[in-house]
Amino acid sequence: MSARPPKIMNYILLLPGLLVIAFFLVIPLLLTVVISFMQEFSFTNPIFTVENYIEFFTSPQTPTILANTFGMSLLASLVALLVGYPAAYFMAFRIKSIKTRNLIISLLLVPFLIDWNVRTIAWIPILGESGIVNYLLQYFNIVHQPVSLLFSRWTLIIIWLQSNLLFMIFPIYLALSRIDPDVINAARVLKSPPHRVFYEIIFKLSLPGVIVGLTFVFVNTLGDYITPSLWAGGIQVLGLSVANFAANFVWPYAATQSTVLILISLAVLVILFKIVDIKKLVE
């Protein structure tokens, strides 16, 4: 008789997780899609329509909202890549001590764990009109009036960078640290000057990490409307619009916008899963 526990056991182990996922993720999302096609949120007398989508795509605000949503998340991902890649590279190739590497990774985790409100208000004493930067600028007579640093798009990018850098650095670091040093040596011996060694070998082999990093930061920032909204009158993004319509009980329209947001994230994820096997980075 085989000592292996029967396959059934495996599915039993999966059951609790799947139930929670079904009830709190899959069904809610499907329900959202259904409601996005309804006139009213009412299943007793449902009327199906595509009005909501027509309204969304013809609304004069939509292009701005979509551009903001896409643009800011894309910008945040790219900035995170630019800042994170050198850090990941240094960690994999220049910092020899595993302890130091782990320490840096751990330190990057903290801002992600910090409360969303705190993350945001933390920048006011730094970048606000009476914040430390303006104080110093005036102290050294660089400017004479406080400058508004706070309610700019770059502030949003910096805050997102602060809490998301880990998701960029970690996958790239993982990919880089798995490169066999002799593969790099082989390229050097085969007539490759340093910049081409970097591009042909190191960068290309780290691409799965780069793609995972870009996607994680993109998707993670896509749904965050708290940070943009806390900059009063800040930047209109799709998530914020969903929340606003939901707060005013305009359910079907909120559902429509939510569906668009889901589709955008799913599209990005499908592309990701097509290009790289995330599980390889885990196992």
Partner 1 sequence: MAKVVEARKLAKRYKGAVEALREVSFEVDENEFFIIMGPSGCGKSTLLRIIAGILDYDSGELYIKGENMKNVPPHRRDVSMMLENFALFPHMTVYENIAFGLRMLGKDKDEIDREVRKMTRLLHIEGLEDRMPNEISGGQRQRVALARALIIRPSVLLLDEPLSHVDYQLQRKFAEMLKEVHREIGGVFMLTTHDQEHGLSLADRMLIMNSGLVEQIGTPTQIYNDPQTLFAARFVGELNTFAGTVEEVSPDAVWVKTEFGTFKARHPAAENARDLVGRRVAYIVRPEHVRVAREDSGQDNRLSVYFNTYYYFGHFLELVFSADAQTRVKSVISANEPFTAKVGEQLTLTWPYTKATIVSKPSVVEGVDIEELIYGK
Partner 2 sequence: MKIPDFLVKTYIAIIILIIYLPLVFVVLLSFKSGANISFPIERFTLDWYLKPPTGYEYAAYVSLFYDRQFFAALRNSFTVSIVVALMAMVLVTTTALAFRRRMAGRNFLFYLFLLGFLTPGVTVGLGVNFLFRLLNLPFSFWSAALINVIYVVPFGLILMMARFDPNLLFYEQAAAVLKAPPLMIFRRITLPLIIYEVISAAILGFLLSWGEVIRTQFAMKGIGTLSTFINTQLGVNPLTPKWYAAGTLISAVSFLGFLVFAYLLTKTVRQQA
Q: Which stretch binds partner 2 (CB under 8 A): 16-24, 57-65, 181-189, 198-206?
A: 16-24
DSSP 25: I
Query: Distance (Å, rounded) from C-alpha 48 to C-alpha 101?
Result: 55
Query: Any idea which residue has 């929340």 for tokens?
Result: 243
Our finding on whether 46 is near partner 2 (CB under 8 A) is no
Cα-only R_g, the chain = 24
Binding to partner 2 in span 47-76, by CB under 8 A: none
At 49, give phi and psi (nearest 5°). Answer: -160, 160
Which listed option, partner 2, partner 1, none, makes contact with residue 9 (CB within 5 to 8 Å by class)? Answer: partner 2
Q: Which stretch binds partner 2 (CB under 8 A): 45-53, 54-62, 91-99, 199-207?
A: 91-99
Which listed option, partner 2, partner 1, none, makes contact with residue 122 (CB within 5 to 8 Å by class)? Answer: partner 2
SS3 of 38, please? Answer: strand
Q: Work out how close the CB of 215 gets to partner 1 at its nearest, in angstroms, rounded to a whole number.
A: 19
Tell me if 46 sits within 8 A of 38, measured CB to CB: yes
Binding site for partner 1 (CB under 8 A): 180, 182-183, 185-194, 196, 200-201, 204-205
Which listed option, partner 2, partner 1, none, makes contact with residue 132 (CB within 5 to 8 Å by class)? Answer: partner 2
Q: Work out how close the CB of 93 gets to partner 1 at its nearest, in angstroms, rounded to a whole number.
A: 14
Q: Work out how close the CB of 181 gets to partner 2 at its nearest, in angstroms, rounded to a whole number.
A: 15
Length of the chain: 283
Q: Work out how close the CB of 106 gets to partner 2 at its nearest, in angstroms, rounded to a whole number.
A: 5
Quickly list DSSP for 199-230. Answer: IIIIIHHHHHHHHHHHHHHHHHHHT--HHHHH
